[in-house]
A and B are shown apart, each in its own frame.
Chain A
Amino acid sequence: MSPANIGKAVGRAAATPLLAAALMAVTVQAPLAAQTGTITGVVRSATNGQPIAGAQVAIPALNTGILANNVGRYLLQNVPAGTHTVQVQYIGYSASSMDVTVAAGGAVIQDFELRSEAISLEGVVVTGTAGAARRREIGNSVSQINEEAFRSAPIQDVADILQGRALGVTVLTNGGQVGAGSTIKLRGNNSVAFSNSPLVYVDGVRIRERGLIHSDEANQQTNPFDDINPADIERIETIKGAAATTLYGTEAAGGVIQIFTKRGVAGAPAWSLTIDQGLNTLGHIGPDPDVNPTGLGLNNCNFTGDANFPGGDSMFPADPSCPASGSWLKNGTLQSYNLSVRGGAERMNYFVSAKWGAESGVFDTGFDANDVKRPEQGQETWNIRGNFSFAPAEDLDIRFNSFYAHRNVTWVPDGNNAEGLLLNVFRGGADYTNDEDGKLLDMDITNINDHFTSGVNILWNPMDGMNHRLNAGIDWVRNEYFEERPWGYFYVQGGNRETDERTFRKLTLDYAGTMDRTLFGLSSSTSIGGQLYNDFVTGTNGFGDDFAGPGAKILQSGAITEAFEVNSTVTSGGFFFQELIGIADRLFLTGGVRVDGHSAFGQDFGLEIYPKGQFSYVLSDESFFPAGFGTLKLRGAFGDSGKAPGLFDAARTWASVAGDNGKPGVTPDNLGNPVLGPERTREWELGFEGSTFSGRVGFEYQYFKQRTFDALINVTQLPSGGFVGSQLENVGEVTNAGHEAFVNLNVLSSSALGWDIGLRLSTSESRVIDLGDLESIPVGWRNYVRTPVECTSELSNAVSFDGNGFIGQGCTVGDLVYFPLPAFCEDRVQNPDEVGAAPRYVDQCVGTTTPKYTYGISTTMTLSQRLTLDVVGEGMGGHWLSSGTAYQNTRRRVWPLCRDTVAAIADGRTDQLTAGERALCDRSVVRYGMWTQPADFFKIRSASLSFRVPEDFLPGQLRAATIRLQGRNLFTRTDFEGVDPEAFEDGSAEVLFRQEYYNLPPIRSFVLSVQVDF
């Protein structure tokens, strides 16, 4: 076996313990020679000295190898006397090799230290075929985040892992309500009518990736994705764009996230306990303290005076319901306890973990009028996981992976909600509560998730080069939500309650087979497969209004009750065929096709066919390539993927309604479209990746261009024809293109000092090409999807009052002006400098409202393999955000940035104001468009300082101990004048539009974490 082939075999072993078992078997079966010895040692990370369980240790020349056990220890037995080259590899690390001389009957101790390496052509990734593919073979980019990259970071949920660490992935923290989900997009937007969220697989089982119950009072929803215990995760792969996701079929156009959890490794039980203690906090809110001393009344709700505002801040007077601390904010506590164990024997191993955590939010909810403790903002979680593998035969590996999570989340009313806390606090006296905002906190908003995922992976390797994989699994989420206004609640005296309970069940059946062989001197890998997904949703939603008295309530406590039911089943399935041809293990050509069916396709539509093609050329393997440069791979890919329409969009239906005081009636529901099919996204991607300076510099670049055609557009039906509303039709076209670049620098690498720097930049720019016969589609508050318009001199020469431009500015008359997906369009002032004049407005579009670029910098510095500083910073930009807070507060004359203008108007000095000043701050003429601004920002997402306690200081039972001081969301730099550039009034990933509107901005956390391994 050549070193290259060992690399291939070892690489596959990383994701395929079946092969690992085979390697072990080879070791076991090696003939016992009379003159043999053993080689043993520990494989550790060169960065932090942590053992690397599962590292592959091999002697290629002897065709033998083994996996390091659960504490990183390996043992090569029956090694013939002599000098041998021992190679060690593991995903995410550069390979290491060393010549080891073994004496007959002797035992050699040889430890290895592996340096982390962001990009390795010998690494393996999951592509949808059986087993794993070597990176050198695939033509598209795949971002891989290994545990090493986030082990020391303050990870609260899975979205935190992706944020700032994965190229081409945008994770927007929508707000600061504990337990609320983030918005996750891979390569921006390419769909008008549907979510641009990626699909999520956990250990081969597709899970509910989004769409749990949305709280209309908190304007948030939880993400089932975040139910997974981050500490259980071994790595995450993000597969972006249609060129890479073709084999995943319909619904995969938004990309795929594959999560792989930890597995057992042979060895005695290795336990690990992590205890986190910390706090959540929030700093000053809103404009600078010099004009906003009370933080919009949130930081200080009992303001009694300030040098700048003698006698108090009239905009934010003292609130009699203000907590005793004088602030609506407090430091919320945070704690979690995570215990895991992994171990096993050669043919059977396990990983089991359990976690309990609790954290409270930053609002001081206090006590109600009867001195009863109000619901406290926060969440409690617990998770258990059991991953078990066994190999009943040499060529068969069976894995069972199961987890169960429970989350109980309590929110405060927030966002675009008349009973929202921030809406009323920020509006000072001009609110709904007569400025007694504590009354709002009597409302109870609770969200409970029970999430169970279980799957079996059967891997069968009946002969060399042939692999079969069968995944079957169930993902089950029960989401219970209730909101209750108690009896006597100030806004609804009788009180009311809403209960919403839904069960989401997704079944996965997935087979793939791959046959590797040599044909005419070429390597061939033929893959076939088929998948079936069944998605079942059921639930009830009930309301009870007007209680008779106080006490605990159920729906029928209300005098008026109402109920709704949800019940639907969607099935999708398809088959694929793929052929990969390799030439001299350096040029790889791939072609494939997938055929899909889906419940939601129209009756006359039939099946959908998605093609793909790729090439990968490992240029650095050529003889003419400069020796010593390192590795370089050129690659390119194209492919189609799709998004299915909604369940009932193809059928003409009527809905049941009540009329005439509760009698049954019908109303037009859906017009129907018998030829409705999925929208298709076709993507081209070209790029390269490699490493140089002996692997110290890893780099990756790609350009992608997506075109979504037959885009599903909600086409307004002719209202005067009577069947009003809209109907999905395959009539639109959208493009999306961008660049992605990543450089990882291993600046220093020694046992004394290690320093890694990662730099990443990704862009995506969407453009609407066609909307059928429609010109403009509203997709949320003043957010529009618009068809191109012809440039006019009026458009081209219009005024950009803030100097930040607008769509069409400076265009050439007669050219088409394209709009992004989506744009924000509203009135903006045209005579900003005119003194004493009323503002003149024109409707201008700006945007997009989704970031056009994301950049990140991460650095890890380690002293003596013990003290590690890890910092992740991330910036986003090119997008605009409308500050509903600024606009609405201006309308109420309580926006601190408008103090001077408001005073001038009150003094009758309007004639001294410019039209621009009035357009921004005069409540009678202000427009939303005036408070819509570029929302570029840079944030320190996380920072941590870790110290690995010297082993000498540890009690005998402990293998290792690490203490970490961690911080999350530590710093923000932005020119956006609203509350926060990431805030989103409706924490839902389902919609295109974004707007900040009185919702709690992302909070800051500090955590002290102690991990002990024993």
Chain B
Amino acid sequence: MKTMNSRRVFLGALFAALATTGCDESIFDVKNPGRILDDDLNTARGVTSLVTGMSADFSEGFDELAFTTAILSDEIVGSGSYFSTGRYRRGLFDSEDANGRWNDVQRARWVAEAGLLRMQAIEGYQYDGNENTARAHLFGGLANRVFGENFCQTVFSAPYDEENPGPGGEIDTGDAMDRNAAFQRAIPLLERAIQHAGSASDIVNAAEGGLAQVYMGLGDFSSAAARAARVPTDFVFAAAYSSNSSREESEIWQETHGRHEVSAWGTLAGIVGAGDPRTPWTDCSAPGSGCPSGNGADGETIHYRQEKYPTRDDDIPLVKGTEMRLIEAEAALMAGDLATAMAKINEVRTYHGLDAVESDGTIGQITGGDGGGANFTSMSGWDILDRERHLTLWLEGRRLWDLHRWDHPHLDGGGVVYKATVARRASCMPIALDECQVNEKVANLCISV
């Protein structure tokens, strides 16, 4: 029979050491390089990064939104293998499709709005009159403008816990609201952007232009035209994209140059926009085009590759002076002033080096019916404006909103590239499924098509 000896002591000590080590709390600490803890952002030196993050989050979602709405509105046609683009080109868009876009715009809105609350509370940060404060307001305002323009309804909730009250105060109830709520929310943000911008004219012009867009959204064309008039024609404020990192790259470039998922073939730009500097594209099926393939990824749609954004660094305009002239033109049409409207339209064409157009003398109404939903030949005031806004704002995430607010014939199937399988094409994005799943107040408002 063996007996224990001194090695028993050794092993006992070894186990005790192991046990002690296992109980040491520090050994279970999470090593977390690369992440920034929430409290660490409460410093004046971190504000610039916070505001740059607002810009980054805005851009991160906006190119996706511009890409999606471009297909839904036949600015460009889905010609690839993505399941989603196959739905969008037929005008199908439901709450599950909306998840990504809804989350993107909510994040872009919230990081700016909540960031402003944080900035106000940071000790040592000069809040008033600071350009960072102005930019944060601008991104918050533009995010709300994008929200209102593209979604059928809006929802604002208090953020993630009680310790962090919502930037919207009582309005953040989690209830579904009219899209005008987003426009209304944008107005004070954009006004304050101007207030804090001081001599930063790009912020001032962008905020003035944003206000013009918002007032147009609210149907207040008087205020819209007044704000638009303050923005010079050559002004452009854009969402920034860059080849600096993959997150900063433009999605529209990726899906047209990096891949062949959407094409200008069959669209207004593809048919009447050829040679128009506002809607440049390359026929990839032509000899010497330099494209890897002549067709889209579906193997049969000719790939008319957009060249408005020929590199992954190309920014997507958010506020342009040329659009301001078109807002003024639309306000004039609303007021029955065809001459002013045509003058403003031709101001834009001249700016782009195009010949002026002449109306047939009638204001008329939007008739649509040809490719891309526009009427190719009608020279009534409204049909001209329809075409000019389409071509001037091509691939800038604005067309779906125009279709919706004009109740455009395209939505009922006029001049679509791919026939819809529903009676009426989607003209706005519904509340996202992600929202319906966790927000009882809107649980029944999601749609599935």
Asked if B298 is at the interface of the complex by the 8 Å CB criterion, the answer is: yes
**Interface contact B244-A463, CB-CB below 8 Å:** no
Which residues of A sit under 8 angstroms from B86, Cβ to Cβ? 891
Q: Mark B355-380, 1 if CB is under 8 A from A, else 0.
A: 00000000000000000000000000
How many angstroms from the CA of A235 to the CA of B9 in the assembled complex? 34
**How distant is A733 from chain B, measured CB to nearest CB, in Å?**
17
- Distance A670 CA – B258 CA, assembled complex (angstroms): 30
The verdict on A651 contacting B243 (CB below 8 Å), with A513-B11, A721-B160 known, is no
Say if the beta carbon of A801 comes within 8 Å of chain B.
Answer: no
Closest to B248 in A: A658
CA distance A433 to B331 in the complex (A): 49
* Chain B 21-62 residues near chain A, CB threshold 8 A: 21-22, 27-38, 41, 46, 48-57, 59-60
Shortest distance from the beta carbon of B56 to any chain A beta carbon, whole Å: 3
Name A695-727 residues within 8 Å CB distance of B.
Answer: 715-725
Q: List 11 A-B contacts (CB under 8 A).
A: A430-B300, A434-B294, A492-B258, A511-B18, A530-B15, A570-B30, A651-B32, A656-B36, A657-B247, A658-B247, A666-B36
A664 contacts across to B, CB distance below 8 A? 49, 52
Chain A residues 427 to 483 lying within 8 A of chain B, measured CB to CB, are 427-434, 460-464, 466, 468, 470
- CB-contact partner of A718 in B18, B37, B174, B242, under 8 A: B174
- Residues of B near A461 (CB, < 8 A) are 2
- Stretch of B66-74, B263-271, B431-439 contacting A (4+ beta carbons < 8 Å): B431-439
Q: Which of A671-690 contact B (CB under 8 A)?
A: 671-672
Minimum distance in angstroms from B133 CB to a CB of chain A? 16
Interface size, chain A (Cβ < 8 Å):
94
Are A665 and B53 in contact, with the CB atoms below 8 A?
yes
Contacting pair A722 B18 (CB below 8 A): no
A774–B437 touching, CB < 8 Å: yes
Q: Taking the nearest CB of chain B, how far is it from the CB of A348, in angstroms?
A: 20
Choose from A560, A662, A891 the contact partner of B298 (Cβ within 8 Å): A891
Instruction: Give bound CA distance, A513 to B28, whole Å.
Output: 25
* B interface footprint on A599-621 (CB within 8 Å = 1, 0 otherwise): 11100000000000000000000
Q: Could you tell me if A511 and B435 are in contact, using CB atoms closer than 8 angstroms?
A: no
- The answer to whether B423 has its CB under 8 Å from any CB of chain A is no
Known: A463-B3, A598-B28, A656-B34. 16 other contacts (CB 8 A): A462-B2, A470-B14, A491-B292, A493-B292, A511-B18, A532-B21, A569-B31, A654-B36, A654-B37, A659-B53, A659-B56, A665-B53, A667-B57, A720-B174, A723-B107, A725-B103
Closest 3 CB pairs of A and B: A430-B299, A722-B110, A659-B56
Docked-complex contact A666 and B49, CB < 8 angstroms: yes
Query: Which residue from chain A places its CB closest to the CB of B243 in the assembled complex?
Result: A560
B52 touches A659 (CB 8 A): yes
Which residues on A sit within 8 Å (CB–CB) of B38? 652-654, 672
Least distance between A199 CB and chain B CB atoms (Å) = 19
Query: Contact partner of B41 among A466, A666, A672, CB < 8 A?
Result: A666
Bound-state CA distance A776–B436 (Å) is 11
Interface residue ranges of B87-128 to A (CB < 8 Å): 102-104, 106-107, 109-111, 113-114
Q: State whether A665 and B32 are in contact (beta carbons under 8 Å apart), knowing that A513-B11, A719-B102, A892-B299 are contacts in the complex.
A: no
Give chain B residues whose Cβ lies under 8 Å from the Cβ of A655. 34-36
Question: CB-defined interface of A616-659 with B at 8 Å, one 1/0 digit per residue?
Answer: 00000000000000000000000000000001101111111111
Closest to B6 in A: A462
B69 shortest CB reach to chain A, Å: 19
The reply to whether B56 and A667 form a contact with Cβ atoms under 8 Å apart is yes
Q: A462-B5, A530-B22 are in contact. Are A657 and B174 (CB under 8 A)?
A: no
Beta-carbon contact of A716 and B437 below 8 Å? yes
Q: Are A573 and B22 in contact (CB under 8 A)?
A: yes
Contacts A511-B14, A723-B160, A725-B103 known; A651 to B37 CB distance under 8 Å?
A: yes
Q: Please tell me if the beta carbons of A721 and B157 are within 8 angstroms of each other in the complex.
A: yes
A568 CA to B35 CA, complexed, in Å: 11
For the complex, give the distance between the alpha carbons of A530 and B158 in Å.
46
Q: Which residues in B have some Cβ–Cβ distance to A below 8 Å?
A: 1-5, 7-8, 11, 14-15, 18-19, 21-22, 27-38, 41, 46, 48-57, 59-60, 81, 83, 86, 102-104, 106-107, 109-111, 113-114, 155-160, 166, 172, 174, 240, 242-248, 258-260, 290, 292-295, 297-300, 313, 421, 432, 434-435, 437-439, 448
Nearest CB of chain A from residue B86's CB, rounded to whole Å: 7
- Which residues of B have CB within 8 Å of A26? none
Give complex CA distance A601, B29 in Å: 10
Taking Cβ atoms with an 8 Å cutoff, the residues of A that contact B are 395-396, 418, 427-434, 460-464, 466, 468, 470, 490-493, 509, 511, 513, 528, 530, 532, 543, 545, 560, 562, 565, 567-575, 597-601, 647-648, 650-672, 715-725, 773-776, 843, 888, 891-892, 925, 928
Asked if A562 contacts B245 (CB within 8 A), the reply is yes
Name the residue on B nearest A598 (C-beta). Answer: B28
Known A658-B242, A659-B55, A774-B437: A719·B28 in contact at CB below 8 Å: no
B4 close to A462 (CB less than 8 A): yes
CB distance from B242 to the nearest CB of A (A): 5
Residues of A within 8 A of B448 (CB): 843
Least CB distance from A943 to B in Å reads 39
Is the Cβ of B437 less than 8 Å from the Cβ of A460?
no
B contact residues around A650 at 8 Å (CB): 30
The answer to whether A660 and B240 touch (CB under 8 A), given A491-B292, A717-B438, A888-B81, is yes
A721 to B173, CA, bound (A): 10
**Residue pair B22, A532 in contact (C-beta under 8 Å):** yes
Docked CA distance A395–B155 (Å): 73
Q: With a CB–CB cut-off of 8 A, which chain B residues contact A574? A: 22
Contact of B244 (CB < 8 Å), options: A428, A658, A718:
A658
Distance, CA A657 to CA B295, complexed state (A): 35
Q: Are B248 and A661 in contact (CB under 8 A)?
A: yes
Q: How far is the CA of A672 from the CA of B83 in the complex (A)?
A: 33
Shortest distance between the CB of A226 and any CB in chain B (Å): 29
- What is the bound-complex CA distance between A599 and B24, given in angstroms? 12
B140: min CB distance to chain A, Å? 11
Q: Report the bound CA distance from A575 to B2 in whole Å.
A: 28
Q: Report Cα–Cα, A648/B107, bound state, in Å.
A: 21
Are the C-beta atoms of B299 and A431 separated by less than 8 Å? yes
Interface centre among B52, B313, B439, B448 (most CB of A within 10 A): B52
Q: Are B4 and A466 in contact (CB under 8 A)?
A: yes
Shortest C-beta distance, B8 to chain A (Å), equals 6
Closest to B257 in A: A492
Given known A430-B300, A464-B1, A652-B38, contact A543–B246 (CB-CB < 8 A)? yes
Name A650's closest neighbour in chain B (CB-CB).
B30
Collect the chain A residues with CB atoms within 8 Å of residue B290's CB. 493
Question: What chain A residues lie within 8 Å of B247 (beta carbons)?
Answer: 657-658
Give the complex CA separation of A893 and B300 in angstroms: 10
Chain B residues within 8 Å of A598, by CB: 28
Q: How far is the CA of A925 from the CA of B87 in the complex (A)?
A: 11
Most buried by B among A470, A493, A666, A717: A666
**A468 neighbours in B (Cβ, 8 Å):** 11
Give the shortest distance, in Å, between B32 (CB) and chain A (any CB): 6
| A residues in contact with B240, CB < 8 Å | 659-661
How near does chain B come to A654, taking the closest CB pair, in angstroms? Answer: 4
Cβ B36 vs Cβ A775 within 8 A: no
- Bound together, the chains give a CA A717 to CA B164 distance in angstroms of 15
A667 to B59, CA, bound (A): 12
Nearest Cβ distance between residue A888 and chain B, in whole angstroms? 6
Distance in angstroms between the alpha carbons of A460 and B299 in the assembled complex: 69
Closest chain A residue to B107, Cβ basis? A724
CB-defined contacts of A716 to chain B, threshold 8 Å = 434, 437-438
Q: Complex Cα distance A509/B27, Å?
A: 14
- Give chain B residues whose Cβ lies under 8 Å from the Cβ of A532: 18, 21-22, 27
Smallest CB gap from A489: residue in B:
B292
Q: Is B438's CB under 8 angstroms from A662's CB? A: no
* Closest beta carbon of chain A to B394's beta carbon, Å: 23
Contacts of A722 in B (CB 8 A): 106-107, 109-111, 113-114, 159-160
**A660 cross-chain contacts in B, Cβ below 8 A:** 52, 55-56, 240
Contacts of A530 in B (CB 8 A): 15, 18-19, 22
